[in-house]
Structure 1
Amino acid sequence: MNIRRTYRIPENRQVVLNKLIKLQWVNFFFRLSIVAAIYFAMGNSQAMKAAWLEDILTLGPPLAFLIAMHIQKRPPDKSYPYGYHRVNVIAFLFTACALFALGLFLLVDSTTSLLEAKPTSIGAETFYGHTLWAGWVMIAALVYSAIPPFILGRMQEKLARHAHEKTVMADAKISKADWMTAVASVIGILGVGMGLWWADAAAALIIGLDVTRDGYTNIREAVGDLMDRRPHSSETGKPEELPALLEQQLMALDWVERASVRLREEGNVLSGEAFVEPACDKDLTSNIVQAQHLVENTDWRISEVVIMPVTDLTRASD
């Protein structure tokens, strides 16, 4: 028996989502300003070029989240009878692929520079008749590029945990990679200034390794969601115990002999099936309705669970 209901976002979560939307707009415009600052200060630095290209790609995740939030509000229709919740997974996968592609580019580009032993030249700039080493301009731009991601990333992570938003959680990791990239680039530029020609490319290589690792981890997480993997915590990445909790609650009902629950993630909500072996057939329909209310009120993320009475639970849940 499938009792379809319209999914309603809890009021407290809606408040968090509104904050996340505002935060992602702020994040997007700060990243735009960082892209401009790094571009004008880039020069011939490999680390600066790596940081600039990374900043360009980081414009995508907040936009993907904002678009997904708009599409997600659409009600179920004939073409999409299960709603549009999984648009968040698509945004999450887009974010992960962009991050992974960037990491691979940085790895190849920086490794090539190290193998070819190309020294990085950082020239000088003239300001109002005074000559200034261009490295200081680069460092100033990098320091600016580190501050907003450091602050916004912590805010993203905190709100994403409350709202169970994996796209924003992944974007928080990107923000962390941003400020780490800036710090590594500063070290590389200072190394070049001290005569260590390899420091700039080495810093870019370290950045590439970190970005590639984060990209791969997030791709694996997004693909798992698309393949109907059991729910995983957005904080720890470990499987959740919610299916076992629902089974215990169902078996606590007088009319249920045994129960087995399967859940999957559809964006930031959960759906699945609950197979129950009735102890008796009396008032079965009303009992199923009771079980439906019990399941859907256990966790705000549960959008729909099909309650299916079976005679042989072992065969039904295989």
Structure 2
Amino acid sequence: MDVYANLKQGERGVWISIIAYIFCSIVKVAIAWYAGSEALLADGLNNTTDVVASIAVLIGLRIARKPPDKDHPYGHFRAETISALVASFIMFAVGVEVLLRAVPSLFSPESTAPDIVAGWVALGSAALMLLVYRYNIRLAKSVNSQALEAAAMDNRSDAWVSIGTFAGIAGAQFQLHWLDPLAALVVGLIIVKTAWDIFREATHRLTDGFDFDELENLKGTISKIPGVSEIKDIKARYLGSSIIVDATIHVDPELNVLESHVITEQIEQRMSEEHRIKTVHIHIEPDERLAR
């Protein structure tokens, strides 16, 4: 399955997330106002940001599927990363809003326990999001979609947020009224932290950042190919969910063009099989140490 087919498959998982988030956000916000729960309201607003963020990811995946053109010879794959960056801004703004609402409630002497129905709604939402997580994480691994895998991780974190919301509301039933706004405060911090993690990863990729240990792992794979005497240079960068590798290798100067080309094909095959990397650019130079 090529990268374009993977992007299309990834859209299916994003749509499932969007539908689940819309349902959860509507139910949570409505019940939160009825039950007087700051924690459930914060959880519902969190799901609202997830809807917007998922839509941004969906738009990014759609744009990323566009084929290369005159102005984009490498394709539009980075639209996926840019959409994640936009989503992080939205999530951060809502996270701050949740914190601004939670802090005054936490120190309010008139805090009252919310209706327990809010807790059951939060627990039901957690169960639903865990099911969505299991579906999306399996799909992400089968189509090798990092964007969908990130969405799945967000599904799982939302489930844990809802479990924390349930705990706060349940605790408030035992006259621990401060637990509900405290849970809202924790939810706000989780939203801000998630937004920061997405922002950091997106900017790292957009500036051609790449994990050093992973690069060493790729280097080790190439060095094991017969005929590669030395790796002079190797670089890697992300193009959306895909990885592009550029490497300069030394080979025996006595090899002819065909023999050298066979080595590059072996490298490309190994990188595809072991790392699922489809784009590898190899530059060959003679190893003067092997000159006869």
Question: What range describes the TM-score normalised by the shorter chain of this pair?
Answer: 0.7 to 0.9
Matches within 5 A, 1:124-163: 135-163=115-143
Shift of 1:81: 0.9
Q: Which residue of 2 aligns with 1:80?
A: 72
Q: Is the 8 A contact 1:288 1:307 kept in 2?
A: no
RMSD, matched Cα: 3.1
1:247 is aligned to 2:222: yes
What corresponds to 1:263 in structure 2? 236
* 2:152 is equivalent to residue 176 of structure 1: no
State percent identity of aligned pairs. 22
SS in 2 for 1:83: coil
Runs of 4+ in structure 1 deviating by more than 6 angstroms, as ranges, are none
- Alignment pair present for 1:48 and 2:40: yes
Does the 8 Å CA contact 1:87/1:267 hold for their aligned counterparts? yes
Range moving further from structure 2, 97-106 or 175-184: 97-106
Aligned AA (1:30): A
Tell whether the 8 Å contact from 2:147 to 2:241 is kept in structure 1 after alignment.
Answer: no
The residue that corresponds to 1:294 in the other structure is 266
Contact kept in structure 1, 2:63 and 2:80, CA below 8 Å = no
Matched, 1:186 2:169: no
Give the conservation status (yes or no) of the 8 Å contact 1:247–1:261: no
Kindly state the Cα deviation for residue 49 of structure 1 after the two structures are TM-superposed.
Answer: 1.7
Distance 1:218 1:177 in 2: 13
**CA shift for structure 1 position 226:** 1.4
**1:203-242 residue pairs with structure 2 within 5 A?**
203-230=183-210, 239=214, 241-242=216-217
Secondary structure at the residue paired with 1:213? Answer: helix
The equivalent position to 1:27 in structure 2, one of 3, 13, 17, is 17
Match of 2:146 in 1: 166
Larger relative helix fraction: 2
CA shift for structure 1 position 257: 5.2
Moved more, 264-273 or 138-147: 138-147
Pick closer, same or farther for the CA change 1:257–1:185 going to 2, 3 Å. Answer: closer
Q: In structure 1, what residue type is equivalent to 2:268?
A: E
Counterpart for residue 9 of structure 1 = 2
SS at 1:145's partner residue? helix
Please give the TM-score of this superposition, normalised by the length of structure 1.
Answer: 0.75
- The CA distance in 2 between the partners of 1:178 and 1:58, in whole Å, is 9
- Do structure 1's residue 272 and structure 2's residue 245 form an aligned pair? yes
Distance (Å, rounded) in 2 between the aligned partners of 1:151 and 1:248: 42
Q: Deviations over 1:12-56 (max 9, x none)?
A: x94x76654333222211221112211221123211220111010
1:149 CA drift (Å) = 0.5
**Equivalent residues in 2 for 1:31-110 (5 A)?**
31-43=21-33, 44-110=36-102
Give the residue type in structure 2 aligned to 1:29. I
SS at match of 1:271: strand
In 2, distance between residues paired with 1:310 and 1:281? 11
Say whether the 8 Å CA contact 1:91–1:167 is kept in structure 2. Answer: no
SS state at 2:235 partner: strand
| Secondary structure of 2:281 counterpart | strand
Q: What is the CA deviation profile of residues 201-253 of structure 1, one whole-angstrom value per residue up to 9, with x for unaligned ones?
A: 11111222333333322322222211212258xxxxx6354421343145x22
Structure 2, unmatched stretches of 5+, are none
* Structure 1 position 116, deviation (Å): 4.6
Residues 61-97 of structure 1, C-alpha deviations (whole Å, 9 max, x = no match): 3323332332222221110111112222223333444
Q: Residues of 1 paired with 2:256 and 2:227: CA distance?
A: 13
Q: CA deviation at 1:261?
A: 2.0
